[in-house]
Structure 1
Amino acid sequence: MKFVVSSSELLSHLQAISRVISNKSNIPILDHFLFDLQDSKLTLTASDQEVTMVTSLDLSSADGNGVIAMPSKILLEALKKFSEQPLNFDIDMTTFAVNIVTEKGKFSVVGQDGADFPQPPALEGNDVQSLQVPVELLNTGIVKTIFATANDDLRPVMNGILMEINDAGLTFVASDSHKLVRYRRKDVSAGFEGAFILPQKPAGLLKNVLAREEGDVFIQFDKKNAYFTLPNYKLICRLVEGNYPSYNAVIPQDSPYQVTVDRVEFYNTLGRVSLFSSQSTNLVKLMLAPDEMTVSAQDLDFSISAYEKVGCQYEGKEMEIGFRSNFLAEIIDNLSTTDVVFQLSDPSRAGLFVPLESRENEEVLMLLMPMMINV
């Protein structure tokens, strides 16, 4: 089996799927890429058994068909060292010896029989549901929520993004019990109600490739697995099993006090003041007064403190509320509008953070639990 491929094009596709490969795999062949050549189309696959990612290249020069697994680490490292040039792959399908011939040299490795590479799970026909959404929509939903997912071995359902399809549209939800993000798009009509929990790893893999894609994503899922078919990639993953908590129950329905503040100004102030917060708690305090907010922090162990005033629109009673600074910074950073609105009720209840203006058919809501302030 022989084929010729651009070094930079091959590297780009392999790097995109290489993030699937686990460093802790007990199955040696999963440290390899699967190369499948059929009629001048080269399909590349990487898998860790939980997640499989596939991409393909159309070749202008190819001879023969076949499937072989090639070692990922040495292949990636070698490709990074090549300048853009055609690479001639000459593969003995009996011994699985691979010769990569360039204009000035030859590089040899030994692969494995591609038939031993694990196959991705098939969807169960009777339970399969499907929908088609724009690449931009799926990418935005993942970007807005993935930072709020948990890493909790005791509650695995919190370690992913809930994707919920119903009459309201497509809703993305993530929470680690301290913060919660709900991103909803009303311009999706699937014609059915369904939901699944997308694990953190495949969500991150999708995030990496969606930004480079255009067009639509075709999503299929059953009770155990999901298929995401993009124009240039396919991702298959095992879903998180279990029921996601009733997230709407923790969102306050009545938050009478509203603070409107310039997002960048507040974010920069928070960044400066939080440097002086306790390393164990990262507590920052927001002191609210009419049209003024004071952001403060202190670390008694090191005798340091800071405060800074920020202009805002606020007409409620004076209030002091505390938040973990790094969580608050993440939320503000992911609200991509000029002004943000804090919706508060009292220092012991969750604060809501929303953009002052949203795009049509889009709803963004972020929630953060407060911290107790020691008086």
Structure 2
Amino acid sequence: MKFIVSSTALLSHLQAISRVINSKNSMAILDNFLFRLEGNTLTMTASDQETTMTTEIEVLEAEGQGLFAVSAKILLEPLKELPDQPLTFEINDENLEIFLYFQNGKYNFIGVNGDEYPQKSPLSADAKTLQMPAQVLLNGINRTLFATGDDELRPIMNGIYIDIHPEDIIFVASDSHKLVRCKNDSIQSGLTSSFILPKKPATLLKNILPKESGDVSITFDDKNAVFALSNFVLNCRLIEGRYPNYASVIPQNNPNRIIVDRAVFVNVLRRVSVFSDQASNLVKLQLRDNQIKVSAQDIDFSTSAEENVSCNYTGDPMGIGFKSTFLIEILSNISSQEVTIELSDPSRAGLILPVENQPNEDLLMLLMPMMLTDF
């Protein structure tokens, strides 16, 4: 087997799929990239058994065909340091000895039998398919990924819930302290279905989707999903289980409403939170007369801070406490210049909404309050 390929093209594709490979794998073969040469097409695969990513590249002067695996580390590390140039791979089909020739030298290493590589799980006959612009999928993942949980006892909370309706699609994530719901009505699939996308494949998609411009084809059944992009195919095992009824936790009647400049508010929170109790990160918001008094204190170290932020406030005077790290994280994941914060009372969740949504998008973020002891 022999082929010639551009070093830059090979490296960019391998780096994209290398994020699938775990630092420690249950099977030694999973430390490798799988290569398949058919005609002038070189298909490359990386897998951790639950998530598999495949990409293709056109090669020059291909001879023969076959399957072999190569250590990801042996291949990636030298390629990162090579300038752009043609690489010639020569593979001995008998013992899988590989010679890699380039402008000023050569590498020699032994490949692994590609037949040992685990196969992707096939989808069931009743799998559903929908098409979605890459930008819509990227926005949905970007808006929600930060709010996914890390709870081993409740794995269903550790992914993005994709709730598909005939007239729209909703991305939801929650770690039980915060919740994000991002609705997009530009996708009218005619389907009624849902699945929970695990955090790792969602992160992989987040990294490769910015370079996509067309549609992504998503095919899924009860256990697996396949995301087909222009240059990559991602197969992943879904999180199985019933996602909680997210709509029921969103408070409906919130008479107290703040409209505030998001960037100014975030900067104040960052400054004041330095003085908060390091264990709780509690900041208190005191609302009255078109002003938010943001305060924090750490009794153990006798430190405290307060700052006032101008806002447009309608409602009764009230005080409410939030974990500053969560509130800053939520505000940092909204792109609107101003945000609306809707509150009912200090014990119920606060809603944080962009004043201006992106086209076809309806974004809602929710944060549970912390109980206040008198400052």
* 1:156 has 2:155 as partner: yes
Partners of 1:173 and 1:211 lie apart in 2 by: 21
Task: Work out whether residues 290 and 317 of structure 1, in 8 Å CA contact, stay in contact via their aligned partners in 2.
Answer: no
Aligned to 2:38: 38
Q: TM-score, normalized by length of structure 1?
A: 0.98
Q: Does 1:243 align with 2:242?
A: yes
Deviation string for 1:310-360 (max 9, x for gaps)? 110002111111100111011000111010000101110000000001133
Within the alignment, does 1:166 sit opposite 2:165 as a pair?
yes
Query: Given residue 362 of structure 2, which amino acid in structure 1 is its aligned partner?
Result: E
- Whether 1:120 aligns to 2:120 is yes
1:137-180 CA distance string (max 9 Å, x none): 00000000000000111001000000011134110000000000
After TM superposition, the structure 1 stretch with the greater mean CA deviation from structure 2, 131-140 or 60-69, is 60-69
**Matched AA of 1:337:** S
AA at the equivalent of 1:85? Q
The CA distance in 2 between the partners of 1:326 and 1:359, in whole Å, is 25
SS of structure 1 residue aligned to 2:312: coil
2:308 corresponding residue in structure 1: 309
Q: Which amino acid aligns with 1:27?
A: M
> Take 1:167 and 1:36, find their aligned partners in 2: how far apart are those partners?
39
Which amino acid is the alignment partner of residue 278 of structure 1? D
Q: Counterparts of 1:58 and 1:305 in 2: how far apart (Å)?
A: 62
Deviation per residue, 1:50-86 (Å, 9 max, x gap)? 0000111112332211111000012111111111111
- What does residue range 125-144 of structure 1 map to in structure 2 within 5 Å? 125=125, 127-144=126-143
The separation in 1 between residues aligned to 2:4 and 2:300, in whole angstroms, is 64
Following the alignment from structure 2 to structure 1, what is the Cα–Cα distance between the partners of residues 86 and 307? 58
Question: Does the Cα contact within 8 Å between 1:290 and 1:316 map onto a contact in 2?
Answer: no
Q: Residues 34 and 117 of structure 2 are in contact (CA less than 8 Å); yes or no, is this contact kept in structure 1?
A: yes
Contact 1:260 1:313 in 2 (8 A): yes
Contact 1:30 1:46 (8 Å CA) reproduced: yes
Partner secondary structure for residue 44 of structure 1: strand
Is 1:9 the counterpart of 2:15? The answer is: no
Of 55-64 and 220-229, deviating more is: 55-64
SS of residue matched to 2:263 = helix
Describe the SS at the equivalent of 1:286: strand
User: What is the distance in 1 between the residues matched to 2:308 and 2:93?
Assistant: 70
Within a 5 Å distance, the mapping from 1:75-224 to structure 2 comes to: 75-125=75-125, 127-224=126-223
SS in 2 for 1:301: helix
State the distance in 2 between where 1:111 and 1:363 align: 50
Cα distance in structure 2, aligned partners of 1:315 and 1:139: 35
Number of aligned residue pairs: give it: 374
Amino acid at match of 2:318: M
Which secondary structure does the structure 2 equivalent of 1:352 belong to? strand
- One-letter code of the match for 1:32? N
The CA distance in 2 between the partners of 1:315 and 1:161, in whole Å, is 34
CA distance in 2, matches of 1:207, 1:302: 41
Mapped to 2, the partners of 1:203 and 1:153 lie a distance apart of: 18
Question: How far apart in 1 are the matches of 2:61 and 2:76?
Answer: 22
SS of 2:35's equivalent in the other structure is strand
Is the Cα contact below 8 Å between 1:69 and 1:111 reproduced in 2? yes
CA distance in 2, matches of 1:10, 1:333: 35
Answer yes or no: is the 8 Å Cα contact 1:261–1:341 preserved in 2. Answer: yes
CA displacement 1:200-241 (0-9 Å, x = unmatched):
110000000001111000000000000000011110000000
Q: Name the structure 2 match of 1:55.
A: 55
Are the equivalent residues in 2 in contact too, given 1:172–1:183 (CA < 8 A)? yes
Code of the aligned partner of 2:143: K
Mapped to 2, the partners of 1:43 and 1:72 lie a distance apart of 15
- Structure 2 Cα separation of the partners of residues 277 and 93 of structure 1: 65
Contact 1:321 1:370 in 2 (8 A): yes
Provide the secondary structure at the position in 2 that maps to 1:314. strand
- What percent of counterpart residues are identical? 53
- Any runs of at least 4 consecutive aligned residues in structure 1 with deviations exceeding 4 A, and if so which? none
> Which amino acid in 1 is paired with 2:3?
F
Partners of 1:296 and 1:56 in 2: how far apart? Answer: 55
Q: How does 1:193-342 map to 2 (within 5 A)?
A: 193-342=192-341
Superposed CA RMSD in Å reads 0.9
Q: Secondary structure at the match of 1:211?
A: helix
* Cα shift readout 1:94-153 (whole Å, capped 9, x = no counterpart): 11111111121110111111111111110001x200100000000000000000000111
d(CA) in 2 for partners of 1:168, 1:330: 30
Gaps of 5+ in 1: none
Contact 2:167–2:189 at 8 Å: present in 1 too? no
Q: Is the 8 A contact 2:167 2:190 kept in 1?
A: no
- Equivalent residues of 2:262, 2:339 under 8 A apart: yes
- Give the superposition deviation at 1:307: 1.1
